[in-house]
Amino acid sequence: MVSFDTLSIGLDEGIGRLTLDQPDALNPLGSAVLAELAQAASWFDAQRVPVVIVTGAGSRSFSSGFDLRELAAPASDGPGAAELGRRMADAIADMDAVAIAAIHGHCIGGGVVLAAACDIRIAADNTVFAIPEVDLGIPLGWGGIPRLVREIGPAMTRELVMSCRPFDAQEAKAIGFVNRVVARDRLDETVTELAATLSTKAPSLLRATKRQVQTAAEAVASTEGSWSDAALIGMAQTDPDARAAANAYLERRTR
């Protein structure tokens, strides 16, 4: 079994489990996490796993999104977070396995993109979603916009991304972002039952159906242009209004 620094992975009766494993920090998506998520997706493909459950450790958060500590860190020589995030979302979406997101607690920003990259999403009734990137002075990257347009349509994508307002699990279900909402104490049971049901199906037919849906979704809103996310983020980082918005947001967070 391969091991990771920021994730835990496992196989249970043929069902894969991929868990963001930094609960004390609310499972942030820093550069190391993004790289490991892409590596984990490749590992599950190598094991020919039919279904993978994606979730976050701890009771408080699926994922708090991009690790804001990296905003103040010096730039590295490797790929930036915009590129790593795009690779992560593509890797999760392109897994041969059906990816089921088991969402609870906070699901913020990049965490929403990670959930959107999964094929099926089940949310606990205590889940709170938010996409605060505009308040942070950056555009939503990682192919998040086309993925959201596919799932909830252009109008709701505009509202939620531009307003940055939080929305709960019931609203997420009403707009089509999640498949089901269940009580928090039934989330693991519900997702495991669904994964077990899917694992009894012919893997070739699961993969074929997944690819058919992906092809149709690409026709609605393609992620092929998500390479431009890095350019948009780069421009935002030099824009005075965007920087002022980011500073104001971070000041509110530290009060």
* CATH code for the domain of 101: 3.90.226.10
User: Is residue 223 in some structural domain?
Assistant: no
Between 239 and 190, whose confidence is greater? 190
What is the share, in percent, of the chain residues with pLDDT greater than 70?
A: 85
**CA-CA distance, 140 to 159, in Å (whole number)?**
13
Q: How many domains does the chain have?
A: 1
pLDDT score recorded for residue 32: 95
User: Is residue 247 in some structural domain?
Assistant: no
Helix (H), strand (E) counts: the chain: 9, 12
Mean pLDDT of all residues in 114-129: 98
User: Is residue 200 in some structural domain?
Assistant: no
User: Is residue 96 in some structural domain?
Assistant: yes
User: Is residue 157 in some structural domain?
Assistant: yes
> Does the pLDDT value for residue 195 go beyond 60?
yes
Say if residues 198 and 98 touch (Cβ distance below 8 Å). yes
**CA-CA distance, 31 to 178, in Å (whole number)?**
26
Between 101 and 77, whose confidence is greater? 101
pLDDT score recorded for residue 136: 86
User: Is residue 249 in some structural domain?
Assistant: no
**CA-CA distance, 249 to 163, in Å (whole number)?**
13
User: Is residue 220 in some structural domain?
Assistant: no
Mean pLDDT of all residues in 40-58: 97
Collapse the DSSP code of 176 into the 3-class scheme (helix H, G, I; strand E, B; otherwise coil) and give the result. coil
pLDDT score recorded for residue 224: 78
Confidence of residue 172 (pLDDT cuts 50, 70, 90): very high
In sequence order, what DSSP letters do the residues of 38-76 get, joined into one string? HHHHHHHHHTT-SEEEEEESSSSEEE-EE-GGGGGSPPP
Domain that holds residue 23: 7-185
Collapse the DSSP code of 7 into the 3-class scheme (helix H, G, I; strand E, B; otherwise coil) and give the result. strand
User: Is residue 238 in some structural domain?
Assistant: no
pLDDT score recorded for residue 144: 95
Mean pLDDT of all residues in 125-141: 93
Per-residue pLDDT reduced to its tens digit, 9-34:
999 999 999 999 999 999 999 999 99
